[in-house]
Amino acid sequence: MQLAVATAPSTTKPALVPAVARAMALLDLLEKERGAMSLAKLSASLALPKSSVHGLCNTLVALGYLRRQDDGTFYIGPRVMGLAHAFAEQTTPAQEFERLWASLGTVPQETLILSVLDGTDVVYVGVRNGMRPLGMAFSVGMRLPAHRAATGRAMLAFHDETWVRRLYPAARLPAYMNLPAMRRSDLLQELAETRERGYSIDDESVRQGVYCLAAAVRGASGEVVAGLGVCMQKAGLKARFVAQQRDTVIDLARRLSERLGASPSQSSK
């Protein structure tokens, strides 16, 4: 059994305008480099003649998308911020979650959830209930304690420890239903392990018999904006199947991050 993630039928790629493609490749290179680059280095990295790169740079400088330093090197200009802000205002993690599933054109076998932090809670903003019953119904607007939910831990793990301590000032964390209370020190250890392995685990921390894995979703500036999780019935779980679900949720979180504007290097952290 595997989480179904079917891709949409392949279509012929549209013809690209060469000059536009080269300009975008130049901007992408400078974004990845995170620093100014000389004309010679840009030319070598892009495998383009210096004359072509010089023309591209001059045009992008004139339009505000690049700036030229006194030593002749180039770096990203302020005009790109307008594009970033316009994009950010038109999308949210929940919207891109819906668009992602529309593009995949499939229904998951296991339940997928998307949540955001709201204080010490997670709030579910996207749900794709799986084909297999969980014994626990997730719905948009549902709240759970962030320190117990896999998506909450996936998000908390990438906040500064000082910030987490301020969020949970007491040595013992609030109890949830009839489950044993957690210590803050245990949560901090779990968050450190989450950062190390790249995903979080909820092993019956919210509901007995339910096992969840989650990964952080990042926005355009690399900040964590949501958590994406997959939830399964714990009974009869096999290690190989859990590994498949782990890889799937990490991949989907990466795809969602990139849809929200995160670079490939940011989305793979």
Question: Span 61-88, mean pLDDT?
Answer: 82
Q: Among residues 73, 68, 54, 56, which one has the least CA distance to residue 22? A: 56
- Residues 105-151 pLDDT 10s: 776 778 889 999 988 999 888 888 777 766 566 778 888 899 999 99
pLDDT (0 to 100) of residue 208: 84
For the chain, what is the mean pLDDT? 85
Per-residue pLDDT band for 9 (boundaries 50, 70, 90) equals very low
pLDDT at 184 > cutoff 80: yes
pLDDT (0 to 100) of residue 139: 78
For 240, the token pair is 């190989």
- Same domain, yes or no: 29 and 66: yes
Decide which of 63, 86, 109 is a domain's last residue: 86
pLDDT at 10 > cutoff 60: no
CA–CA gap between residue 130 and residue 230 (Å, rounded): 9
Flag whether 9 is in a domain: no
CA–CA gap between residue 113 and residue 232 (Å, rounded): 11
Per-residue pLDDT band for 96 (boundaries 50, 70, 90) equals confident
Containing H/E element for 192? helix 184-197
CATH code at 130?
Answer: 3.30.450.40
Flag whether 237 is in a domain: yes
More confident residue, 208 or 107: 208
CA–CA gap between residue 131 and residue 204 (Å, rounded): 20
- Same domain, yes or no: 259 and 126: yes
pLDDT (0 to 100) of residue 86: 62
The answer to pTM > 0.85 is no
Question: Span 35-63, mean pLDDT?
Answer: 94
For 116, the token pair is 């955001």
- Same domain, yes or no: 81 and 99: no
pLDDT at 165 > cutoff 80: yes
Name the residue type at position 245. Q
- Same domain, yes or no: 74 and 109: no
Decide which of 71, 86, 101 is a domain's last residue: 86
- Residues 17-30 pLDDT 10s: 999 999 999 998 88
- Same domain, yes or no: 213 and 168: yes
Per-residue pLDDT band for 199 (boundaries 50, 70, 90) equals very high
- Same domain, yes or no: 97 and 216: yes
For 27, 68, 153, 165, the CA distances from 21, given in Å and listed in that order, are: 10, 21, 40, 47
pLDDT (0 to 100) of residue 15: 84
Per-residue pLDDT band for 6 (boundaries 50, 70, 90) equals very low
- Same domain, yes or no: 124 and 80: no
- Same domain, yes or no: 35 and 118: no
- Same domain, yes or no: 32 and 138: no
pLDDT at 2 > cutoff 50: no
What percent of the chain clears pLDDT 70, i.e. is strictly above it? 87
For 12, 129, 206, 245, the CA distances from 237, given in Å and listed in that order, are: 40, 18, 18, 11
In 9-136, DSSP assigns E strands to 66-68, 74-76, 111-118, 121-128
- Same domain, yes or no: 244 and 138: yes
CA–CA gap between residue 254 and residue 66 (Å, rounded): 28
- Same domain, yes or no: 151 and 228: yes
CATH code at 82?
Answer: 1.10.10.10
pLDDT at 102 > cutoff 90: no
Flag whether 3 is in a domain: no
- Same domain, yes or no: 38 and 60: yes
Flag whether 98 is in a domain: yes
Structural domain total, the chain: 2
Q: Which domain holds residue 48?
A: 18-86
pLDDT (0 to 100) of residue 55: 95
CA–CA gap between residue 26 and residue 143 (Å, rounded): 44
Decide which of 62, 86, 110 is a domain's last residue: 86
For 203, the token pair is 């092993």
pLDDT (0 to 100) of residue 12: 57
- With contact defined as beta carbons under 8 Å apart, do 98 and 105 qualify? no
Name the residue type at position 67. R
